[in-house]
Amino acid sequence: GNQYRGLLPPDLCLRGEWGIRGSRRRPAPPLRSTGMGNYLTSRITAEKDAHVKQTSKNRNGRPGLKFHDLPEDVLCTILSKLPAKEAVRTSVLSSDWRCTWTACPRLSFGADDISKNVKGKPQRTQMFIDHVNAVLTKHSGRALDQLEIKFIFETKLVDYLNNWIRFAMSAHTKSLAFDLAPPSNFPEYGDHYRFPFEQFTDNKSVSCLACLQLSFVRFEPPPTSFIGFPNLRKLHLHVVKTTRQDLESVLCSCVNLEWLSLLRCHLKDEMKVVRRPLSHLRYLHVVYCDITKIEFDAPNLSTFVYDGPYRPITLHHATKLENVRFWFRGAVFQHATASLLNGLPDVQNLTLQLGTQRLEVAGGR
């Protein structure tokens, strides 16, 4: 069993008390509700707990447990802690594990999955594509908690990325992350991945999506078939290429959005969302974005963080705004302070940083 220790999280390696053996699964007795913590860490015997079948004792006099003695939901929990590559490798442990990994609820793929011995960008890209496709093809397609793709973008990936989004929607994914990196250190060069809004048309699958993270993508006007993101709670946009109108259209479709972060999203225009109030938005984070103005209608906003050049900021109906933190660059202190207090009349705690000058206002104006 020791040679497989590396496949398990450290907290589940229990001092050599578990053995990994390949054998045919015997019917397990009916499960009863017990705390998972006790089940995984207690010195259990078959007489004391109906989960565990009678097994031979090891040299320490303790029951020699086998992985196939565990309920399927516990096996899936163990696998969910592993990277996708390692979860797939568990299929060689025994015949019982051959298909268990296919129900793994969290799939994460990145450049680290590719051997460092593979040289050349085209070869590494093709190997990454083959790896992701192989895993998704064998996956059961049950509801996914998370699907994450982290890789350097190139046009060769477009069709595959579209297919992986299609898989995510069919699997009713809750958290989707396309963390794409630009092909060079200068994001303004090269094409961004066009986000396929046309694939978000099925209400049942789209309604499952609660968290969306996108990097190095571009937004184009969504088609009329796009139903929005009705249950999206968290949205993180990084190096997203879009226009004021398209961004506002997408954000207005997120009627239950609570957390919004925009990093290096260069609109070169106003960042404005007033057509429909973001009634559930509580946290707004805007950093290093090339914009001319910020204007939001967010009546339940409680925290706002901004880092970048001084720009006019107006938050309509933000009567619950508690904490505001600004890091301005190149602004005149008195002008910035007066303008902000006029645009944020209800803020309770304001932290304002302009170069080496810092102002803190607590309890309102």
pLDDT in tens, 293-325: 999 999 999 999 999 888 889 999 999 999 999
Percent of the chain with pLDDT over 90: 46
Packing angle between helix 158-170 and helix 121-138, nearest 10 degrees?
20
Up-side HSE of residue 267: CA atoms within 13 Å toward CB? 20
**pLDDT for 19:** 37
**pLDDT for 288:** 94
Q: How far is CA 153 from the centre of its chain?
A: 18
Residue 36 has pLDDT above 80, yes or no: no
If one compares 355 and 57, the residue with the highest pLDDT of the two is 355
Mean pLDDT of 209-230: 95
Q: How far is CA 299 from the centre of its chain?
A: 26
Mean pLDDT of 156-165: 96
**pLDDT for 239:** 94
* 95 within domain boundaries: no
Domain that holds residue 299: 256-365
* 120 within domain boundaries: no
* 221 within domain boundaries: yes
**pLDDT for 178:** 98
Least confident of 67-81, 97-111, 190-204: 67-81
Q: Are residues 237 and 262 in the same domain?
A: no
* 89 within domain boundaries: no
Q: Are residues 272 and 302 in the same domain?
A: yes
Q: Are residues 260 and 235 in the same domain?
A: no
Q: Are residues 207 and 307 in the same domain?
A: no
To the nearest whole number, what is the mean pLDDT of the chain? Answer: 77
Up-side HSE of residue 281: CA atoms within 13 Å toward CB? 30
Answer with the one of 241, 271, 300 that is the final residue of a domain.
Answer: 241
Least confident of 166-175, 215-224, 332-341: 332-341
362 — pLDDT class (breaks 50, 70, 90): low
59 — pLDDT class (breaks 50, 70, 90): low
* 86 within domain boundaries: no
Residue 100 has pLDDT above 60, yes or no: no
| Cβ count near 172 (within 10 Å) | 17
Q: Are residues 282 and 360 in the same domain?
A: yes
Q: Are residues 70 and 138 in the same domain?
A: no
Q: Of 283, 226, 280, which Cα lies nearest the Cα of 256?
A: 280
Q: Are residues 146 and 222 in the same domain?
A: yes
If one compares 74 and 43, the residue with the highest pLDDT of the two is 74
* 102 within domain boundaries: no
If one compares 100 and 183, the residue with the highest pLDDT of the two is 183
**pLDDT for 285:** 98
**pLDDT for 305:** 96
Least confident of 96-105, 288-297, 303-312: 96-105
pTM of full prediction above 0.85: no
> Would you say the C-alpha torsion 88, 92, 98, 100 has a positive or negative sign?
negative
* 99 within domain boundaries: no
Residue 26 has pLDDT above 80, yes or no: no
Q: Of 221, 101, 231, which Cα lies nearest the Cα of 176?
A: 231
Q: Are residues 261 and 212 in the same domain?
A: no
Answer with the one of 201, 218, 241 that is the final residue of a domain.
Answer: 241
Q: How many domains does the chain have?
A: 3
**pLDDT for 21:** 39
* 96 within domain boundaries: no
Mean pLDDT of 198-212: 95
**pLDDT for 223:** 92
If one compares 213 and 60, the residue with the highest pLDDT of the two is 213
Residue 349 has pLDDT above 90, yes or no: no
**pLDDT for 107:** 86
